[in-house]
Structure 1
Amino acid sequence: MSFNASDDDSQQRFALGFLFALITLIIATVLGVVVFKRGIQRAPVAAPAAVAVAEPAPVAAAAPGVVVTEEAAVVVEGGVVKFYFASGKVDLAPGAAEALQDVARGVNEGGRSAAISGYHDATGDAALNAELAKQRAVAVREALLALGVAEDKVELKKPEVTQADGNNAQARRVEVLLLP
């Protein structure tokens, strides 16, 4: 009978050890997920892989590695030309002319058209911000027209959501996309 009792004890120890290991694994997984999600929320936003036409000068850092600017800038990212604006301003950034010349060339030589969309940040009055986003889009449109792009080849397109994500400096932008 001692042989059977030993087998029972051995099986019970194995079952308890397995249960303990399973509980430990579950707790470690839950803690890992929580730490990972908090790390993502606090992680610095990496600069997009883009060709910068004009680099903005940093004004302040919202969090380590997140640069907030108050200056206008132009960035070409994934085939989209993004014009960033200073708070409350409609002035195009230095380097905007070069980026717009490339867009104009794409429209005029490629038989394409351009869609221009304006976005705004979340600060201040929403109606005033929406109007400012429209004025910025019109400023980009006027600059394209001045470069010889036909008026019927430039479309002002209001995005479904005009309040953009990201920090406020990144949200204050106009995007130009070449359409087929």
Structure 2
Amino acid sequence: MFDQEDGELNVVIGVLFGVIALVIALVIGIATWKLGAANAEPIAATPAAEFTEVAEVGEPLVKFYFGVGETAMSANASADLETVVAAVEAAPEKKVLLSGFHDETGGAAVNAEVSKNRALSVREALLEAGVPAERVLLRRPAVTLGGGDAAEARRVEVRVQ
């Protein structure tokens, strides 16, 4: 008699723990989704925002760094923007090439979207700074994972070539 009650009690406890685990996973999933949606700022669609296959030449002129899951540029990026604008004005035959990267945080689809939106954010800032849209190219890097240091990995590299 006690064996049957123990067995039934174990089943009830197992089901109860399963339901609790599902509720916790749902709460964490919703919180993560809302946090990601809050940090992701929509980028206005502008003409010629297509990714191209252009070879990178030389080292990046500047690198813009981002926080985890963030796509908005930091407030202290104006000096680097001015550097890019000056380089573009000095070489009217050259174009600006942007490549976005990400760290290992998050899933592959989310990371691809984040690195793309980071590059679009830098593109938008350059357009606002006066760089003509036809001179700004977006390049999808062969490997968007930025390397060992997570802070270094969350970046957009800018080349004038």
Question: TM exceeds 0.5?
Answer: yes
- Structure 1 residues 171 and 79: alpha-carbon distance in aligned structure 2, compared to 1, 3 A threshold: closer
Establish whether residue 89 from structure 1 lines up as the match of residue 64 from structure 2.
no
Which structure 1 residue ranges, 5 or more long, are not aligned? 1-77
What's the offset of the Cα at 1:91? Answer: 1.9
Establish whether residue 159 from structure 1 lines up as the match of residue 141 from structure 2.
yes
Identity %: 44
TM-score under structure 1 length normalisation: 0.54
Q: In structure 2, what is the equivalent of residue 98 of structure 1?
A: 79
Q: In structure 1, what is the equivalent of residue 39 of structure 2?
A: none
The residue type equivalent to 2:141 in the other structure is P
Which structure 2 residue ranges, 5 or more long, are not aligned? 1-58
The residue type equivalent to 2:76 in the other structure is G
Per-residue CA deviation, residues 102-159 of structure 1 (Å, 9 max, x unaligned), is 1012112311211000001112111101100000000000000001111111000111
Q: In structure 1, what is the equivalent of residue 91 of structure 2?
A: 110
Map 1:51-130; keep pairs closer than 5 Å. Answer: 79-111=60-92, 112-130=94-112
Instruction: Find the aligned partners of 1:79 and 1:120 in 2 and give their Cα distance.
Output: 16
TM-score under structure 2 length normalisation: 0.60
The residue type equivalent to 2:107 in the other structure is D
Per-residue CA deviation, residues 66-95 of structure 1 (Å, 9 max, x unaligned), is xxxxxxxxxxxx652111100011121232
**Number of residue pairs the alignment of both structures matches:** 102
Q: Which structure features the higher share of strand residues? A: 1
Q: Which structure features the higher share of helix residues? A: 2
Instruction: Find the aligned partners of 1:121 and 1:149 in 2 and give their Cα distance.
Output: 28
The residue type equivalent to 2:100 in the other structure is G
Establish whether residue 169 from structure 1 lines up as the match of residue 151 from structure 2.
yes
Instruction: Find the aligned partners of 1:84 and 1:146 in 2 and give their Cα distance.
Output: 19
Establish whether residue 131 from structure 1 lines up as the match of residue 119 from structure 2.
no
Larger Rg: 1
The residue type equivalent to 1:97 in the other structure is S
Instruction: Find the aligned partners of 2:73 and 2:160 in 1 and give their Cα distance.
Output: 19
RMSD (Å), alpha carbons = 1.3
Aligned with 2:75: secondary structure? coil
Instruction: Find the aligned partners of 1:123 and 1:98 in 2 and give their Cα distance.
Output: 28
Instruction: Find the aligned partners of 1:109 and 1:124 in 2 and give their Cα distance.
Output: 39
